[in-house]
Amino acid sequence: MEDTKVNMPLLGDEFPEINVQTTHGPMNIPGDMKGKWFVLFSHPADFTPVCTTEFVAFQKRYEEFEKLDCKLIGMSIDQVFSHIKWVEWIKSELDIEIKFPIVAANDSVALKLGMLHPGKGTNTVRAVFIVDPESKVRLIMYYPQEVGRNMDEVVRAVKALQISDRQGAVAAGWPDNELIGDRIIVPPATNEKDAKKRSDEYECYDWWFCHKPLEK
């Protein structure tokens, strides 16, 4: 029986090294991205309606990602000339210029990243990897072919990860949490002495649920 095991990096793992051809030329990932955040996202196929809406949506938020010093990289197992033709079509028919590279992955690259599902033929699924400047995988989103992604959530996730690295944990729906808005959650005290001081130092619902202002 053929081995159809799907491998994919886990949170905290180093992003697997891949050498690929893209619409912007050869790339080593994550080597060429060292020192920067990047979002690598796969799509099932070029010249398909849902994927086209996704690429337009990512491009519409390109400047937001740039402000976060975060690069976008698309990927499918279509050949690079298909990517180039699709990008040309999006430009000519929709007047949207795709400024980020698109990887022409082969099956081994896609399998290494868990982007090929054994039950879905050869199309890559809608995976999203957010990777930090140390090349560590920080967040993974995995969508079926039938459901397009919400790019505002991808932007929010990058912002939230960057904020949490500097200031502390962020709440559900940050920066619009129903309880504390955009405030930052303070790590719970780990001893009785600190627990008793928490409410004097921060705003708290209880000693284990305290929060502080977001540093702009």
Residue 127 in contact with residue 115, Cβ under 8 Å? yes
Tell me: pLDDT of 5 over 60: no
Domain 168-212 falls under CATH 3.30.1020.10: yes
What pLDDT is recorded for position 175? 96
What pLDDT is recorded for position 170? 96
Tell me: pLDDT of 1 over 50: no
Residues marked as catalytic: 51
Report which of residues 195 and 145 the model is more confident about: 195
pLDDT digits (tens, 9 = 90+) for 135-162: 999 999 988 878 889 999 999 999 999 9
What pLDDT is recorded for position 117? 61
Task: Provide the pLDDT confidence category of residue 2 given band limits of 50, 70 and 90.
Answer: very low
What pLDDT is recorded for position 146? 82
How many CB atoms neighbour CB 187 within 10 A?
10
Cα–Cα distance measured from residue 102 to residue 125, given in angstroms and rounded to the nearest whole number:
15
What pLDDT is recorded for position 147? 85
Highest mean pLDDT pick, 103-112, 135-144, 177-186: 177-186
pLDDT digits (tens, 9 = 90+) for 52-91: 999 999 999 999 999 999 999 999 888 999 999 999 999 9
Cα–Cα distance measured from residue 191 to residue 172, given in angstroms and rounded to the nearest whole number:
26
CATH of domain 18-149: 3.40.30.10
Q: In the chain, what are the domain boundaries?
A: 18-149, 168-212
How large is the average pLDDT for residues 196-214? 95
What pLDDT is recorded for position 121? 56
Tell me: pLDDT of 94 over 90: yes
Least confident range from 29-43, 102-116, 121-135, 141-155: namely 102-116
Q: Where are the beta strands (DSSP E) in the chain?
A: 18-22, 25-29, 37-42, 70-76, 102-104, 126-131, 137-143, 169-170, 184-186, 203-206, 209-212
What pLDDT is recorded for position 110? 74
Cα–Cα distance measured from residue 206 to residue 194, given in angstroms and rounded to the nearest whole number:
12
How large is the average pLDDT for residues 11-23? 94
